[in-house]
Amino acid sequence: MLREEEREKLAMLGLQRATTRRGFLKLGVSAGVSMAAVSTFGGLVKAAGFGAASGLVIMANAKGLILGDPTRCVGCRRCELACTEFNDGKSQPSIARVKVGRNYNFGPRGVTNGFGRGEGEYGNFLLVQETCNQCPHPVPCATACPQGAIVADPSTGARVVDAERCIGCGMCTGACPWQMIAVDPQTRKSTKCTLCGECVSACPTGALTLVPWKDRTKDVPPRVSAIRIIGSNAATDCAPCHTGR
């Protein structure tokens, strides 16, 4: 469970206060939801010819974010274990919402940088923890989901998976430029960061921190060229804003 200081930090960020759907819309406006980001998918929606009206509001920004400090990470990977044990009831780092193991040897960019030139154990010794960016609208994984199964948590604003809607198709995994989503091979459901903070509490060196949300999508290099796609449900919801742009 969360340590006392983490509970205080959550309270400070307002992550434990529930809000209404209308309240989230007000939060998004007051937080300055990026209209530049809104127009990112404009051409794609227009080209697809989507034009039906919808009452769904823009997904407001999350209230928090988990950041990693590579200079403090020792590669114990307790964060991955804590994440899956708390959220999934099992120790399975491959579906953890924080990624350390895949960067252990050569860093996020792999061996393409040349032996000894990149990050990780065989490079500059920096062990990089990757965490969900809690993307602003339009959220790539949410817009790609054909079932509308990725939504904003009413309490934290985190983009979370609605297990009842998720069918395990994996469209979200292909849409995330940072490959932060995985599909549990046993449950056939996607796994995604909920800002529960268990990884932060489990880290023995303080290498993970819960901070107020900020847009990191332009500062963190993507791991892959993600599939840019808008599911039919999301396209219908987005059409009133994007059509004609």
Per-residue pLDDT for 57 more than 90?
no
- The arithmetic mean of pLDDT across residues 174-180, rounded, is 94
Average pLDDT, the chain: 78
Do 216 and 177 form a contact (C-beta atoms < 8 A)?
no
pLDDT: which is higher, 187 or 52: 187
Q: What is the pLDDT of residue 123?
A: 81
Measure the CA–CA gap between 32 and 47, rounded to whole angstroms: 27
Percent with pLDDT over 70 in the chain: 67
| Higher per-residue pLDDT: 178 or 12 | 178
What pLDDT sits at residue 118?
79
Q: Residue 58: pLDDT band by 50, 70, 90 thresholds?
A: confident
Rounded distance between C-alpha atoms, residue 119 and residue 207, angstroms: 16
Checking if the pLDDT of 160 tops 70, the result is yes
**Which positions ≥6 away from 35 have C-beta within 8 Å?**
none
Q: Report the pLDDT averaged over residues 52-69.
A: 77
pLDDT(228) > 90: no
Res 33: pLDDT = 38
The arithmetic mean of pLDDT across residues 211-233, rounded, is 83
Q: Considering the entire predicted model, what is its pTM? A: 0.71
Determine the distance from the C-alpha atom of residue 204 to the mean position of all C-alpha atoms in its chain, rounded to a whole number.
Answer: 23
Q: How far apart are CA 229 and CA 143, in angstroms?
A: 7
pLDDT tens digits, 88-119: 999 999 999 999 999 998 888 877 655 557 78
Q: Which of 42-51, 122-131, 168-177 has the lowest mean pLDDT?
A: 42-51
218 pLDDT higher than 70:
yes
Name the amino acid, one letter, at 60. Answer: A
Would you kindly state where each structural domain of the chain is located, as residue ranges?
A: 4-242
Q: What is the pLDDT of residue 235?
A: 65
Task: Report whether 22 contacts 225 (CB < 8 A).
Answer: no
Distance CA 196, CA 86 (A): 9
pLDDT at 3 over 80: no
Query: Which pLDDT score is estimated for 15?
Result: 46
d(CA 108, CA 83): 20
Q: Which helix (H) or strand (E) holds 59?
A: none
pLDDT average, residue stretch 193-206 = 97
Distance, in Å, from the CA atom of 10 to the CA atom of 15, rounded to the nearest integer, reads: 5
pLDDT score at 55: 46
For 81, the 3-state DSSP assignment is helix
